[in-house]
A and B are shown apart, each in its own frame.
Chain A
Amino acid sequence: MTQPWAAARPLTPESWISVRARMMFDCCKWDMQSQDHAVLADFPLVLEEDAWNVLATQSEQLAVETLAAERELVERPDLHRRLGLSRSLRKALNCEAKSRPVECARVMRFDFHWTAEGWRISEVNSDVPGGFIEASGFAEIMNEYYSSYAPPPNPASSYADAIAATAGNDATIGLVHATANSDDAQVMHYLAQGLQRKGLRAVVIGPNHLKWESGLARIASSFATATPAVLVRFFPAEWLPNLRPEAIWKPWFCGGKTAMSNPGSAILTQSKRFPLVWDELNAPLATWRSLLPETRCPREVPAPSSEWVLKPVLGRVGQDVLVAGVTEARASAEIVTNAKRHPDLWVAQRRFETIALQTHAGTREAGLGVFTVDGWAAGVYGRLATKRLIDQDAQDIAVLIRRKVSR
C-alpha cells in the first residue's frame, strides 16, 4: 500500500529558533513546551496531493452528514440522554424550532488516521475544534523553508471569511472563551488578528461579558461595550451550564438571535456517543459508517480489553482515553472503574491499528484533523505522538502538500 505521507528532514537549529519565535510572537502560539518536550515538531509532514484530495472530499461529506444528523437530533430530545448529555444540557437543548439560535460559519474538525485498510476517523470535534494556529500560521511559516511543497488551505483565514460574510463591514465580533485559560486565549488572539486584518473589530471576552436582550447579545464589560454581529465560541458547550445565572448561557442553546459559531446544539454530534443513535436517524451517514470504527456502549464490551478503546463522552484532546497497553496503569484502572460505574458517560470504540510514520526522530503515530468551514474542507492540523494515542502529550506538526507532477 502506498504511503500517503512522509516526514521531511528537520530544520537547521538556526532556522528553527526563528520559526519558534515567529510562532510565539506573530502567531500567538504560547504553549510551546509540555513538561520535557517541545510542543512543535521541527519538521513537516508531507502529504501527497491525492491523499489530501481524498481527505478533503471525505471531510466535506462527513460535514454534510453531521449537520443533517444534528438537525434531526435537535428535534429528538428523546435521544439526548443516550448521547450522555447532562440534565442541564438536555433541558437547554429542548427548544422550540422558532427559538433555535441563529448560526453561521459552522466549523468542525474530523480526526483521521492511516491504517492498513485506508483512512479511518476516530471522532469529530464539532463543538469548539482547536488547532487553528498550527494548521494556519505554522504551516505557512514552515512552507517558507520547504518551498517545493504547497501549504494546505488556511482554516483561520477561511473561518474569518465565513464570519465576515455574515457580519458585514466594520462589524464587531465577540470571541468568547475561558479567559483565564492561556491555551484557549492564544487561539482567540490568533483568530482576532485574522478578523482585524479583514477590517472587523474583534473583542476577546468571557461568556459572562455578554448580556442578552430579547435574544440579542451585547458585550457589557468594564473594558468593552459593543453589539456584536457574530459570536465565536471557544468555550465548550458542556461547560456553559456551570455558569450562573442561566440567562448568560441559555441563548447559546435556545433563543439566541445574534449569529453564532458554533451554536450549543453542536454538542449533539460532539458527543462520542453520537454513533449509538445513528440507527434512530433518517440522515444518511454512509461516510461516517464507512470510516468510524464500530462503537458501542461500554456495558456491551469487556473492560479492560485490548480490542476496545474507552473514551469519555465529552473528552477532548485525547484526554482520559483508555488504550490497553498505552494508557498508564493507574489511569487505566480509574477509567475502567468509572466506565463501569457510569457507562452512559463513556463509549467503547473498536481499536484500529494505525500505520506509523517514520521520522528522523524515530517511529511516530500521526493523526490529521481536517477542518471544514460551512461544509468546505478548510485545512489540516497535524499531530504526532510517541505512543499509540494522540493526546495532550503529542506534538503539533505542520502539514504540507506534495503536488502531483504534471504529465
Chain B
Amino acid sequence: MTTARELFEIWAPPGALWSPWVAPALFAQMACPEQFVHADDRTRTMVWHEEMAAPDTAIILDLPGAESVKSGLLLAQIGYRPVPLINASPGPMRLRPTPGTRADVVLDMDSLISEICAGTPWLRHRTLELDAPPAFILDGSRATGTRPLRDDLFDNRWMVFPQDFPSARFLAKQKIKRVLLVQTRRTQPMEDLRHVLLRWQEEGIGVFLKASAGAETPSEIVVAKPSRYRAFWYRALAMMGLRRSSAGGFGGFEPESFGGG
C-alpha cells in the first residue's frame, strides 16, 4: 500500500513550481492498493494538443473526475505538470477508501481515485521539469455530484475559489500568457471557475476553451461575469450554499450556454 504522503509527493514533488497548489485533502483521505501501483504503463496520446507542452500555456481540465485525471497524465507525457486541485472528501469518514469501495456520497470519486492510483506509478517515473507548465485537474462533476441529492447521503460536492489558484500576477511572472480550459462541452465555464478565470482575463491572461471530444482548435472566449463577482460577501454566501439551501452542501452551478465560436 502506498501511503497518502508518498502518493501526494509523487503528484506534488517538493521543489516543483506548481506543487503548492496540489490540494492535499483528497490524498490525505485515500490510499492505493498494490495492484494499482504496478498496473498502469500504457502508452498515452492526446489527440487535441500539440506534440509538446507550450511553456506559455496553463491548462485547466474540468472534465468528469476520472477523465480529468487521465487527461492530466496524457499532458504529463508531453511536458505538463499535472496539478490535482481536488479539494474534497471522498467519503464521510477518514476511511482511506480504495478503488472499489462503495461510498454513500453525492459525488462518487471512486473512478477518480482509481485513475490516480493507476497513473501514479507512471508519473513516479516520469521526469518533468520543475517549472513545467501546469495542467490543473478539477472534477467537472463537483457541483452537481454523480447521484441525486438525498438527505441521508454524505454531501461531498465542492467548489473552487480564486484563493485555490495562483494569481494572474504569479502566472504572468512565470510567463504564462494564456490558459486553456478543457471541458466536456463548449459552454461557459462553471460559475465558480468563472470567478477565477475572469480575474485572470482582466489581468491580461487569454482564456481559451476546448471541448474534450472534438478535434477543433481551442478558441478564445470572453468569460461571462459570474453572479456576485468580486462581491465582498461572495465567499460567505457561496459557503452558505444559499443558491440551494440543502443541508451542509453547496448549491448547484449549472453551466450556461456558450453561444458562438
Contacts and interface: CB of A to CB of B under 8 A. Distances in A.
A206 B8 contact: no
A205 B25 contact: no
A13 to B, nearest CB: 8
Given A180-B156, A182-B25, A206 B249 contact: yes
B155 A206 contact: yes
B230 A180 contact: no
A173 to B, nearest CB: 13
Interface string A237-274: 00100111000100000000000000000000000000
Contacts of A24: 5, 8, 24, 27-28
Contacts of A185: 25, 89
Nearest to B236: A319
A191 B25 CA distance: 16
A320 B152 CA distance: 34
Interface size range of chain A in the complex: 35 or more
A204 B91 CA distance: 10
Contact of A392 (B14, B163, B245): B163
Interface string A23-51: 01100111011111010000000000000
Given A189-B94, A208-B151, A244 B28 contact: no
Interface in B122-156: 150-156
Contacts of B14: 17
A248 B3 CA distance: 38
B167 interface: yes
B20 interface: yes
Contacts of A182: 23, 25, 87-89, 158
Contacts of B210: none
A216 interface: no
Contacts of A35: 162-163, 165-167, 170
B92 A239 contact: no
Contact of B25 (A38, A186, A192, A334): A186
A319 B240 CA distance: 14
Interface string A304-317: 00000000100110
Interface in A168-184: 177-182
Interface string B1-35: 00111001100001000001101110110000000
Interface string A195-213: 0000000011111110000
16 contacts: A24-B27, A24-B28, A29-B24, A30-B25, A30-B28, A35-B163, A179-B156, A180-B158, A180-B159, A185-B89, A193-B94, A208-B155, A221-B153, A239-B240, A319-B232, A334-B232
Interface of B: 3-5, 8-9, 14, 20-21, 23-25, 27-28, 87-89, 91-94, 103-104, 150-159, 162-167, 169-170, 230-233, 235-236, 239-242, 245-250
